Amino acid sequence: MYSDLPLSTQVKLPNGVSYEQPTGLYINNQFVPSLEKNTFEVISPSTEEVITSVYESRKDDVDLAVEAATKAFDDSPWTKADPSQRAKALFKIADLIEEHGEIISSIETIDNGKSISNARGDVDLAVRCIRAHAGAADKLFGLVVETGDSHFNYTRREPLGVVGQIIPWNFPLLMFVWKIGPALATGNTVVLKSSETTPLSALYVSKLIQDHNVLPPGVLNVLSGFGKYTGNALTEHPDVKKIAFTGSTATGKIIYKKCAESNVKKVTLELGGKSPHIIFDDANLDQALESVIAGIFFNSGEVCCAGSRLYLQEGIYDQFLDKFVEAAKNTIKVGDPFLEDTIQGAQNSNQQLEKILQYVKIGTDEGATLLSGGVRLPQKGFFVEPTIFGDVTEEMRIVKEEIFGPVITVSKFKTVDEVIKKANDSEYGLAAGIQSTNIDRIMDVSRRLKSGTVWVNTYNDFHPMVPFGGYNQSGIGKEMGEEALAAYSQIKAVRLKLGTAI
């Protein structure tokens, strides 16, 4: 849609929060219209109403952003200055997000559909992540390599250059922070594409950064747009040295190929999952129930690492399943995401809701028993009941394929070897959960599960210094922790022959 849209607009949210929403592209520390003046509407999943419109970037806008980021990397003091200056900037971004936390939480709620309590949790973790990366900015150590008296050898960590980042719609703020934090801490410059369904929080935080003059021009550039235009142009751009992508495995494969074909960009991919959650007979069942609920219904089930395959040991199968179904029917409040007691908000889009309902049909057609939910709520908005399937087999599509919603399958097992075989029978390997009080069993099963993260007696429990990323087709590389910093730097080795320098 062609439009002379203003570069910001006043938005009033259902909870009474009123704020100024940037609508332009953030390039070189300025909000600007897209060159073609195209715009698109941003829809609220909980009301199905238009929140606002924003400018849509295309290839020419990507070129401008990359040019600004390249100039900032080459000419600004950002990369060459004392790393403590980068730390100072990141600490300031964290302070700004914390200070404006309620506005940002409200933006996430209206834009994504998630409950306000989930959104506040995202803001809290985002602040902690930025501070963790800030604290690491001046601790990127190299090594002295001893090879005898004839040479002096050392290594140093250097930034990559301009990095392109493509983030998803399920955690707009959190993915924004997970991406820019380690990239900026290590001295890179950034061009980031937000999701077309949830562009608002990234633009709002960019405005805070602009207003407080936190970063030099061109260090951070944020583009609203669609994957087939903006994402593709960013992935193929010859001056972008790395792509970091979070999203589906299918799209990740395309990006991986394009990065190789363009200029052999470095790549990190955080992709899909179909994570097993294993409850043993000796588990604390009340604690396990809390973890299972958090594992599948948190963030409306729109979580790549959701514990969507539940395995119950036969001794507690009936007892636990009864409690779980009862909780899904009577405890998990679904509805208005701005209400404080809402647990499950709206699905992000009508497309995602229809996908979930289609999988419900697939499951029943395959012969699984629908124990709870599977029905769209009649109110306005993209809401679906918490859904539990029993009587499943490992070959069913609802067990094999990522649904990305509040849908879980339940299976029974007898032995440790049996459940590990089932848990590992997946193309994915992002996460897994174990509920047990037997430390020997916990250590054994954790070692044998083919998953990048294993939560024990908890689930969806993140810490900014604990790396997160998958095995198999769940991706390449890690978010958070020291591993994330390594993914945005490269090692240079220097070998000096002694006695030759003047």
| CATH value at residue 122 | 3.40.605.10
| 270 assigned to active site | yes
User: Is the same domain home to 287 and 367?
Assistant: yes
Q: For residue 424, tell me if it sits in a domain.
A: yes
Q: For residue 187, tell me if it sits in a domain.
A: yes
Q: pLDDT exceeding 70 applies to what percent of the chain? A: 99
Q: Which of 56, 196, 236, 270 is catalytic?
A: 270
pLDDT at 500: 83
- Distances 260 to 251, 254, 264, 492 between C-alpha atoms, Å: 14, 10, 4, 22
User: Is the same domain home to 155 and 216?
Assistant: yes
User: Is the same domain home to 286 and 205?
Assistant: no
User: Is the same domain home to 328 and 265?
Assistant: no
Q: For residue 2, tell me if it sits in a domain.
A: no
Is the pLDDT at 23 greater than 90? The verdict is yes
Is the pLDDT at 366 greater than 80? The verdict is yes
Q: 3-state DSSP helix/strand/coil percent for the chain, to nearest 5?
A: 40, 25, 35
Q: Is 449 helix (H, G, I), strand (E, B) or coil?
A: coil
User: Is the same domain home to 362 and 446?
Assistant: yes
- Overall domain count for the chain: 2
Supply the CATH number for residue 461's domain.
3.40.309.10
Residue 21 contacts residue 13 (beta carbons within 8 Å): no
User: Is the same domain home to 354 and 249?
Assistant: no
Q: For residue 138, tell me if it sits in a domain.
A: yes
Residue 346 φ/ψ, nearest 5 degrees: -85, 155
pTM across the whole model: 0.96
User: Is the same domain home to 434 and 307?
Assistant: yes
Q: Choose the weakest-confidence range: 3-17, 18-32, 63-77, 288-302.
A: 3-17
Q: For residue 51, tell me if it sits in a domain.
A: yes
User: Is the same domain home to 105 and 150?
Assistant: yes
> 246, 14, 208: which is closest to 113 by C-alpha?
14
pLDDT at 1: 61
Query: Which residues form the domain of 307?
Result: 276-465
User: Is the same domain home to 363 and 401?
Assistant: yes
Residue 257 banded pLDDT, cuts 50, 70, 90: very high
User: Is the same domain home to 132 and 235?
Assistant: yes
What is the tens place of the pLDDT at every residue in 29-69?
999 999 999 999 999 999 999 999 999 999 999 999 999 99
User: Is the same domain home to 256 and 344?
Assistant: no
pLDDT at 502: 65
Q: Is the dihedral of CA 291, 293, 294, 295 positive or negative?
A: positive
pLDDT at 3: 65
Residue 347 contacts residue 384 (beta carbons within 8 Å): yes
Residue with structure tokens 């419109």?
Answer: 53
Torsion of CA 286, 297, 479, 458, to 10 degrees: 0
Residue 225 contacts residue 232 (beta carbons within 8 Å): no
- List alpha helices for 280-374, DSSP H: 285-297, 317-330, 350-366
- Average pLDDT in the 265-283 region? 97
Q: Is 416 helix (H, G, I), strand (E, B) or coil?
A: helix
Q: For residue 1, tell me if it sits in a domain.
A: no
Max CA pair span of the chain: 81
Provide the b/e sequence for 326-338 (b: ≥16 CB within 10 Å): ebbeeebebbbbb
User: Is the same domain home to 200 and 340?
Assistant: no
pLDDT at 2: 58
